[in-house]
Amino acid sequence: MEKSEIIRLANEYIEREDDEGFKNQVKKLLADENFTELEDCFYKSLDFGTGGIRGVIGGGYNRMNPYIIKKVTQGLATYINNAAAGKPVSVVLAHDSRRCSRLFAETAASVFCGNGIKTYLFTSLRPTPELSFAVRRLGCISGVVVTASHNPAEYNGYKVYWDDGGQVVPPQDAGIIAEVNSVKSITSMPLEEAAKKGLFQLIDKEVDDAFLDMVRSCSLRPELIKKEGKNLKVVYTPLHGAGRVWVEKALSSLGIEVITVPEQAEPDGEFPTVKFPNPEEGSALSLALELGKKVKANLVVGTDPDSDRLGTAVPEGDGFKLITGNQLGCMFIYYVLSTLKEQGKLTPDTAIIKTVVTTELQRLIGESFGVRVYDVLTGFKNIASLMKIFETTGEKFVYGGEESYGYLFSTQVRDKDGVAAAVMACEMALYNASRGMSLLDYMNEIYERYGYFQESPFSFTFKGESGGEKIKKIMEDLRANQPESIGGIAVTSSTDFKDGVVKKGIHLPPSNVLQFILADGSYVTARPSGTEPKIKFYISCCEKAGVPLEEAKKTVAAKCQAIKEDLERILGV
């Protein structure tokens, strides 16, 4: 990129940005002639993708800042007003604990109000699932949560929801993108003025109480929790995020003792005690595990900064064992379906939803109970989209989940819900304790019945403009030269989702995903991340039921390792 073009774009941004702090960041880069950093700030514009935007916080078009928030919100506001066709509509906004989250939320609110759209904003940080709940509760046409979920501290993001409470999907996503790309001018209104005109309203208790009631209603055995809840000791970490108040309230109101990790209890967008505030990473739960060991906890749980993901660990020997997202999802499905069956509530129209990269063990469990199991593309918006279809087909949704620690039990929320998942994990632990079993025993019971499955996800990160090209070339090469075998196991078929596919009568839209099925039932899926500069690989291997469990674990672990090493060789990384 030519220096003259970088300078032009930088000066253009300085003119457009109203926030002095962000403006001065770029001025300083210009004064220091730091063209390496300037190029990264301006070599492209931060794209509004199919669900919103996410990026590093800072000045520039390739950064998260007030100008970018205003531009994106103006495009969304225009789309909303066109869709409303003159009818009064409203939106609701929430945010987590990240840097600039409140600033970005208020900035977005000022633009919505400037475009005549009634805007609700929570008085302080709230979990993402509560934002989804609020869209439906308040009858809004759209909602926005300012969060970068589990990304490192330098990131923030902006996720858009539609009137069903799910993240935007076709055709809304393409329409919003077109409007964002067409923005020529931005109209905003000071929030004090908007409040006087009835266009702006702060909210809290009127949604909070209903949200917590919904979370508690997810319980399948409330009498068990009421009777035995006092016997469960839970260590919890919100990882400096938005989950603390809601997880503590939900569990304590059910009589469960919650001990919150003190070093991680307060909201802090710097996330000072963790490298990545992601409960998928074992290191993020290290303080919780230490405390769990000290107080002899029965269960350790952790939510990410916007509290839509849940990580868990259970006692094993002298320490704790982390439970994977796939494992917890399998236990949730087995528990929900077996409980509904026991209660006489399991009907032929019952349905669960998983993603194409989530373990096939979940399918085996669901089908063994005679329920319908649907696959959708990665991303909870696709689960929510199918839930909306169920409203017309009459199918009964009881669970949706993905391998990346996202779980949902209620139709009143249309995104993954770490708060409700924490309640369900505690109930499941209590249920198994009443049977003289641990959650590890429960998982082994499932393996003994259905066979042993192990998933080994891994990824490669390639930053900057060259990184994006590298990821693109990897996918092109895999499509052009599909391997005959991976890890010494023959590839028997493959599915390329780039043109869309149909599974069980459900059309999965085009997506940059490639899946290889191996001769022994293992599979490998390649998928570039939509929010981070990385390409992800999902390996899943299995051994049939009847093989001694310890033997099956060794066999499957060796398969996973061989496949991973072979992929690294094929990719040349």
Per-residue pLDDT, 309? 97
What is the H or E stretch that residue 186 is in? Answer: none
Q: How far apart are CA 456 and CA 566, in angstroms?
A: 14
The CB-side HSE value for 553 (13 A sphere, CA atoms) comes to 6
Per-residue pLDDT, 529? 82
Q: How far apart are CA 5 and CA 17, in angstroms?
A: 18
Tokens, residue 461:
């990160």
Helix 3-16 to helix 35-42 angle (10° resolution) is 60
- pLDDT tops 70 at residue 468: yes
3-state secondary structure 523-564: EEEEEECCCCCEEEEEEEEEECCCCCHHHHHHHHHHHHHHHH
Tokens, residue 353:
């939803």
**Tens-digit pLDDT profile for residues 185-233:** 999 999 999 999 999 999 999 999 999 999 999 999 999 999 999 999 9
Query: At 461, is the pLDDT very low, low, confident or very high (cuts 50, 70, 90)?
Result: confident
Rounded to 5°, angle at Cα 431 from 291 and 402? 75
The active-site residue, picked from 142, 149, 307, 456, is: 149
Residue type present at position 564: K
Tokens, residue 571:
């990719």
The structural domains of the chain, with segments of one domain joined by +, span 63-203, 208-450, 453-571
Per-residue pLDDT, 51? 78
Assigned superfamily of 63-203: Alpha-D-Glucose-1,6-Bisphosphate, subunit A, domain 3 (3.40.120.10)
Would the pTM count as exceeding 0.85? Answer: yes
Question: Parallel, antiparallel, or unpaired for β 514-518 and 489-496?
Answer: antiparallel
Of 115-124, 270-279, 564-573, the range with the lowest mean pLDDT is 564-573
Tell which CATH architecture fits domain 453-571.
2-Layer Sandwich (3.30)
Q: How far apart are CA 537 and CA 357, in angstroms?
A: 9
**Tens-digit pLDDT profile for residues 125-173:** 999 999 999 999 999 999 999 999 989 999 999 999 999 999 999 889 9
The CB-side HSE value for 427 (13 A sphere, CA atoms) comes to 25
Domains 63-203 and 208-450 share a fold: yes
Per-residue pLDDT, 533? 78
Tokens, residue 555:
């066999």
Rounded to 5°, angle at Cα 239 from 235 and 241? 120
Q: What is the CA radius of gyration of the chain?
A: 24
Dihedral sign of CA atoms 390, 392, 395, 397 in order: positive
Q: Respond yes or no on whether the N-terminal peptide bond of residue 279 is cis (omega within 30° of 0).
A: no
Tell me which DSSP letter residue 57 carries: B
Nearest to 182 by CA among 79, 254, 253: 79
In the chain, what percentage of residues exceed pLDDT 70?
A: 99
Tokens, residue 400:
């949706």
Q: How far apart are CA 258 and CA 326, in angstroms?
A: 25
Tell me which DSSP letter residue 262 carries: G
CB-CB neighbours of 542 under 10 Å: 24
Phi, psi (deg, nearest 5) at residue 26: -70, -40
- pLDDT tops 90 at residue 509: no
- pLDDT tops 90 at residue 1: no
Per-residue pLDDT, 170? 84
Q: What are the Cα distances from residue 69, in Å, to 30, 90, 183?
A: 23, 18, 12
Per-residue pLDDT, 83? 95
- pLDDT tops 80 at residue 464: no
Estimate to the nearest angstrom the gap between the alpha carbon of 502 and the chain centroid. 24
Give mean pLDDT, residues 294-307: 97
Give SS3 for 399. Answer: strand
Tell me which DSSP letter residue 126 carries: -
Per-residue pLDDT, 376? 94
Give mean pLDDT, residues 98-122: 98
Dihedral (Cα; 201, 205, 206, 211), 10-degree rounding: 120
Residue 190 near residue 439, CB atoms below 8 Å: no
Tokens, residue 146:
């300012």
Q: How far apart are CA 439 and CA 132, in angstroms?
A: 30
The residue ranges of DSSP E strands in 324-395, in sequence order, are 350-355, 372-376
Tokens, residue 272:
């000072």
Per-residue pLDDT, 88? 94
Give mean pLDDT, residues 555-572: 92
Residue with tokens 């299995």: 542
Nearest to 374 by CA among 522, 503, 499: 503
Q: How far apart are CA 509 and CA 223, in angstroms?
A: 43
- pLDDT tops 70 at residue 38: yes
What is the H or E stretch that residue 236 is in? Answer: strand 233-237
**Tens-digit pLDDT profile for residues 370-388:** 999 999 998 899 999 999 9
Dihedral (Cα; 242, 245, 248, 253), 10-degree rounding: -140
In the chain, what percentage of residues exceed pLDDT 90?
A: 87
Query: At 531, is the pLDDT very low, low, confident or very high (cuts 50, 70, 90)?
Result: low
* Higher pLDDT, residue 174 or 338: 338
Q: Is 149 a catalytic site residue?
A: yes
Q: How far apart are CA 315 and CA 283, in angstroms?
A: 17
Question: Parallel, antiparallel, or unpaired for β 200-203 and 233-237?
Answer: unpaired
Per-residue pLDDT, 516? 95
Nearest to 152 by CA among 324, 44, 272, 325: 272
Query: At 502, is the pLDDT very low, low, confident or very high (cuts 50, 70, 90)?
Result: confident
Assigned superfamily of 208-450: Alpha-D-Glucose-1,6-Bisphosphate, subunit A, domain 3 (3.40.120.10)
Of 23-27, 45-49, 257-261, 374-378, the range with the lowest mean pLDDT is 45-49
- pLDDT tops 70 at residue 50: no
- pLDDT tops 90 at residue 77: yes
**Which residues lie across from 144 on neighbouring strands?**
93, 160
CB-CB neighbours of 547 under 10 Å: 16
